[in-house]
Amino acid sequence: AHLHPPTLQSSGLGRMDCRAKGGSPGFKVAVLGAAGGIGQPLAMLMKINPLVSVLHLYDVVNTPGVTADISHMDTNAVVRGFLGQQQLEDALTGMDIVIIPAGVPRKPGMTRDDLFNINAGIVKTLCEGIAKCCPKAIVNLISNPVNSTVPIAAEVFKKVGTYDPKRLLGVTMLDVVRANTFVAEVLGLDPREVDVPVVGGHAGVTILPLLSQVKPSCSLTPTEIDYLTDRIQNGGTEVVEAKTGAGSATLSMAYAAAKFADACLRGLRGDAGVIECAYVASTVTELPFFASKVRLGRAGIEEIYSLGPLNEYERAGLEKAKKELAGSIQKGVSFVRK
């Protein structure tokens, strides 16, 4: 059962949709929280991705309108809407990738951790659905605090016995997108040519840009490094404050999420050399979860890269990041185990 679009079959019109016969190559993608600030532009960007053949839009409100609207775009993907908990299972069945931007965003003065109480429960429920209906799907988790929601998802999957660490990815792409933009601005370069690895996690000091590894290689002054590190770590807060209570980053996040999902899709297709940063189960540090560069392939994460050589500034940042991350991971794990 799904909402919209109204079936032509029910009106007696319309031939068999050639895309629905299974002949069309492409992947099935669900967006959970599709009617939200991130969800809507993300749904639009996934609708124009040529690798997507079926797009499921799920939310607890407003999906009929968003689905009707997006379904009129003349691109390949077939769009279906699902509204409310009773349609969650239909939304998830058969999906190759599930992208989760469901949950409340920050308001000025809030940290991402302040969202824990509401979003932890939402993520748990959605992941229980995934475990039941599409246990092999690649999960892109956006809901904050990502540092804790990824461990929550892992615990839910472990409980049911479907956990595959290669298929669970916390989306930190926006930190990379911001880092590329801000570094390009300082260097006077085109941001599309800049590649800044951002490791650690997705909140404050856990966001650790490795400015010594920027490509193309460059030398930044200590003042530039301080400015850039601070701006990258607090880019989210910059947007939250500018929006004065209307939420957090949605458009740049939708762009980042679509870019990340596209990398996952290219990996699934079998493309070589697809490498992005993500927050994943990891042995790169002593922590069970950590963001670093990963190679994406048919099985999801196929390789996790170590951090590479760090300078003294970055080593100090890493210690701070690990301390905060350890607490956030523990908080997520306890939420499910309690």
Task: Catalogue the active-site residues.
Answer: 202
C-beta separation of 203 from 189 below 8 A: no
Residue 126 or 137 having the CB closest to ligand NAI: 126
- Minimum distance, C-beta of residue 110 to ligand NAI, in the bound complex (Å): 9
- Minimum distance, C-beta of residue 177 to ligand NAI, in the bound complex (Å): 9
Adjacent-strand bridge partners of 97: 29, 138
Residue 76 or 119 having the CB closest to ligand NAI: 119
- Minimum distance, C-beta of residue 274 to ligand NAI, in the bound complex (Å): 20
- Minimum distance, C-beta of residue 82 to ligand NAI, in the bound complex (Å): 10
The first and second tokens of residue 294, run together, are 């990963």
3-state secondary structure of 257: helix
| Interface positions with ligand NAI (CB under 6 A) | 32-33, 35-39, 59-61, 101-106, 115, 119, 122, 125-126, 142-144, 146, 171, 174, 202, 247-250, 253
Residue 35 or 127 having the CB closest to ligand NAI: 35
C-beta separation of 287 from 326 below 8 A: yes
> What residues have CB less than 8 Å from 315, skipping those under 6 apart?
none
C-beta separation of 111 from 137 below 8 A: no
- The phi and psi torsions of 200 (rounded to 5 degrees) equal 100, -100
3-state secondary structure of 63: helix
C-beta separation of 170 from 143 below 8 A: no
Point out the residue whose Cβ comes nearest to ligand NAI: 36
With tokens 């980053």, the residue in question is: 249
C-beta separation of 232 from 262 below 8 A: no
- Minimum distance, C-beta of residue 20 to ligand NAI, in the bound complex (Å): 25
Residue 211 or 253 having the CB closest to ligand NAI: 253
Sign of the C-alpha dihedral computed for residues 285, 287, 288 and 291 taken in this order:
negative
Task: Give the separation between CA 164 and CA 158, rounded to whole angstroms.
Answer: 9
With tokens 């048919």, the residue in question is: 298
Other Cβ atoms less than 10 A from the Cβ of 225: the count is 17
By the 10 Å C-beta count (0-12 exposed, 13-18 middle, 19+ buried), 11 is classed as exposed
With tokens 């659905």, the residue in question is: 129
Residue 71 or 172 having the CB closest to ligand NAI: 172
Q: In terms of DSSP H, where are the helices of 110-234?
A: 116-133, 146-160, 173-187, 222-233
Q: Which of 203, 196, 276 is nearest to 235 (CA)?
A: 203
Residue 26 or 137 having the CB closest to ligand NAI: 137
Residue 26 or 55 having the CB closest to ligand NAI: 55
- Minimum distance, C-beta of residue 163 to ligand NAI, in the bound complex (Å): 21
Other Cβ atoms less than 10 A from the Cβ of 245: the count is 10
- Minimum distance, C-beta of residue 79 to ligand NAI, in the bound complex (Å): 17
